[in-house]
Amino acid sequence: MRTSPLPFVRRVEQALADPVLRRNMAVGTSRQRTHRLEAMAALPGADALRNHASRIRAHTLARLDEYLEQFVAAVRARGGTVHWAATAAEAASIVTTIAVGERARLVVKSKSMVTEEIGLNAALEAAGVTAIETDLGEFVIQLAGQHPSHIVAPIMHMSKEQVGALFVERLGATPEEVVDVAAMTAFARRVLRERFLEAAVGVSGVNFGVASTGTLCLVTNEGNGRLCTSLPRVHVAVMGIERLVPTLDDLGVMLDVLARSATGQALTVYTNLVTGPRREDDADGPEALHVVLVDNGRSRVLGSELAEILYCIRCGACLGACPVYDTVGGHAYGSVYPGPVGAVATPALDGLGPWTELPHASSLCGACRDACPVRLDIPRLLLLLRRQTVEAGGSPVWLRLALRAHAALAVRPRLYRLAVRLAGRVLAVGARDGYIERLPGPLAAWTASRSFRLPARRTFLDEVARERRKVSP
Ligand code: SF4
């Protein structure tokens, strides 16, 4: 789950000090926002559809055990094999064992966040199996030795010039092959096509599993997903247990909101429905289909007050809407799941202990909630996590003492007013033109990047008292 050994503050500082990253993020998120808003505005009854999608998610999760049983039975009835993985390590081990058993030296992968979550590529490499990412963005990320910085646009943080330089340095591309985006895409396609033909195993994620039919739905904008799931002899689909919908009709509702929220498209270029491995009368398709159902904390989350985070359909709309994500990019979060959804999903799945800062990486403006196609109330979940952090003693000592002092003053009005007046006078000593350039101690973090406005000479209560005196002399 963790993508960086650096502490959160350090990662944020690095991001803020990188002007190229900030420019790339500003362009990428603004484009995503505009496309989403236009697509949603053009969809008749969009709000009602989002409510419907939210109800489907709530209903599915309330009866997840039943739908999982139904899904597993349907996958098996159509010739697929189902594996249960309680942890990330178990899931990675199941996929690795299948690949090794198939004597695969090469595995081709289509884009999948859950395989990032379980650290699949590292596990395959450790077993001597090379994993090749075939989604263009993921391919670039793999070449760069990084992690995706966005759920649906893994290289949002990079410019096309940076990608071109990487192709020249790592793959020996010529200047003509990186002259523009079309040339770079054609170059990557030439490199990758060979790999599809060599691989014995294709690994994919799953956008939605349909409980009634055992169908796996994969949405992509590149043909790579279809090649990964149909060309190699064996297809391994890795899926979080929450990614179910009851029926194909429910899937239709989800598809109506997913692409519009993610990229602003009415539908992604490819919507693949995989129901079992190749049948006798099929012209192509894999000989075997394995579905790996990953729990990795989801059952625990389902029984907790954070269960709503499992509604998420990984569209990435909340990332583009978030002013924090927009400013620092995805790598600053230090988790495979960045942005507002990651600030909840990461501590929910992995435990709050190593992730106490993430629930604070939000202004609580509510833009993520407004953007979410399944009406996930992320600010409410962030506040729950902040409360849990405080209850676990995870907030800094100085903050706890300061809040205790404030609580003591807040119930003693005279003392409170006196303290406010005194604080104003003390702060005024170091002020210039109504602003304080440097605050002391931990408060210096505030003035590191902006000035602190000096409190007004007359407080709000002074003004209220004065107005009252005017009304009733
Ligand atoms: S929380 Fe909502 S907006 Fe964010 S990725 Fe999930 S479904 Fe999309």
Q: Are 377 and 369 in contact (CB under 8 A)?
A: yes
Amino acid 472: pLDDT: 74
Q: How far is the CA of 378 from the centre of ligand 1 (A)?
A: 9
376 lines ligand 1 (CB under 6 A): yes
113 lines ligand 1 (CB under 6 A): no
Measured distance between the N- and C-terminal CA atoms of the chain, rounded to whole angstroms: 66
Amino acid 423: pLDDT: 86
The best mutation among 261, 326, 349, 375 to test binding of ligand 1, ranked by most ligand atoms within 8 Å of the C-beta, falls on: 261
Atom of ligand 1 nearest to the CA of 339: 4
The CATH class given to the 43-296 domain equals: alpha beta
What's the helix, strand, coil split of the chain in %, to 5?
55, 10, 35
147 lines ligand 1 (CB under 6 A): no
Q: What is the mean pLDDT of residues 449-464?
A: 86
Q: How far is the CA of 250 from the centre of ligand 1 (A)?
A: 18
260 lines ligand 1 (CB under 6 A): no
Amino acid 172: pLDDT: 96
* pLDDT tens readout for residues 184-235: 999 999 999 889 989 999 999 999 999 999 999 999 999 899 999 999 999 9
DSSP 3-state of 272: strand
* pLDDT tens readout for residues 350-399: 999 999 999 999 999 999 999 999 999 999 999 999 999 988 887 788 88
What's the pTM?
A: 0.90
309 lines ligand 1 (CB under 6 A): no
Atom of ligand 1 nearest to the CA of 313: 7
Q: How far is the CA of 114 from the centre of ligand 1 (A)?
A: 15
Q: What are phi and psi of 334, to 5 degrees?
A: 75, 10
258 lines ligand 1 (CB under 6 A): no
Whether 290 shows a pLDDT value over 70: the answer reads: yes
317 lines ligand 1 (CB under 6 A): yes
Q: What is the mean pLDDT of residues 232-244?
A: 98
Give the DSSP H/E element, type plus range, for residue 133.
strand 130-133
Strand order across the 208-210 sheet: 244-245, 208-210, 215-220, 270-274
Q: Which whole-number Å values give the CA distances from 273 to 212, 216, 217, in the listed order?
A: 13, 6, 5
321 lines ligand 1 (CB under 6 A): no
In this structure, the residue with its CA closest to atom 2 of ligand 1 is 372
132 lines ligand 1 (CB under 6 A): no
316 lines ligand 1 (CB under 6 A): yes
Q: What angle separates helix 397-410 from helix 413-429, to the nearest 10 degrees?
A: 130
Residue extents of the structural domains in the chain: 43-296, 397-471
Atom of ligand 1 nearest to the CA of 372: 3
Amino acid 13: pLDDT: 92
Q: What are phi and psi of 353, to 5 degrees?
A: -40, -60
- Mapped to the 3 state alphabet, what secondary structure does 408-423 carry? HHHCCHHHHHHHHHHH
Question: 282: Cβ–Cβ under 8 A, 6 or more apart, which residues?
Answer: none
Atom of ligand 1 nearest to the CA of 315: 8
In this structure, the residue with its CA closest to atom 8 of ligand 1 is 315
Q: What is the DSSP letter of 259?
A: H
Amino acid 1: pLDDT: 84
371 lines ligand 1 (CB under 6 A): yes
Amino acid 473: pLDDT: 61
The best mutation among 374, 375, 377 to test binding of ligand 1, ranked by most ligand atoms within 8 Å of the C-beta, falls on: 374
Distance CA 31, CA 22 (A): 14
Q: Are 442 and 402 in contact (CB under 8 A)?
A: no
Q: What is the mean pLDDT of residues 434-452?
A: 87
- The residues pairing with 81 across neighbouring beta strands, listed in sequence order, are 290
Atom of ligand 1 nearest to the CA of 316: 5
Give the distance between the most distant pair of CA atoms in the chain: 95
313 lines ligand 1 (CB under 6 A): yes
Label residue 296 by pLDDT band (50, 70, 90): very high
Q: Are 44 and 282 in contact (CB under 8 A)?
A: no
In this structure, the residue with its CA closest to atom 4 of ligand 1 is 318
* pLDDT tens readout for residues 2-46: 888 898 999 999 999 999 999 999 999 999 999 999 999 999 999
Question: Among 13-22, 135-144, 442-451, which stretch is predicted with the lowest mean pLDDT?
Answer: 442-451
Distance CA 430, CA 437 (A): 8
Q: What is the mean pLDDT of residues 327-344?
A: 97
Question: Among 163-172, 309-318, 369-378, 446-455, which stretch is predicted with the lowest mean pLDDT?
Answer: 446-455
Atom of ligand 1 nearest to the CA of 314: 5
Amino acid 283: pLDDT: 87
In this structure, the residue with its CA closest to atom 6 of ligand 1 is 312
* pLDDT tens readout for residues 110-137: 999 999 999 999 999 999 999 999 999 9
209 lines ligand 1 (CB under 6 A): no
262 lines ligand 1 (CB under 6 A): no
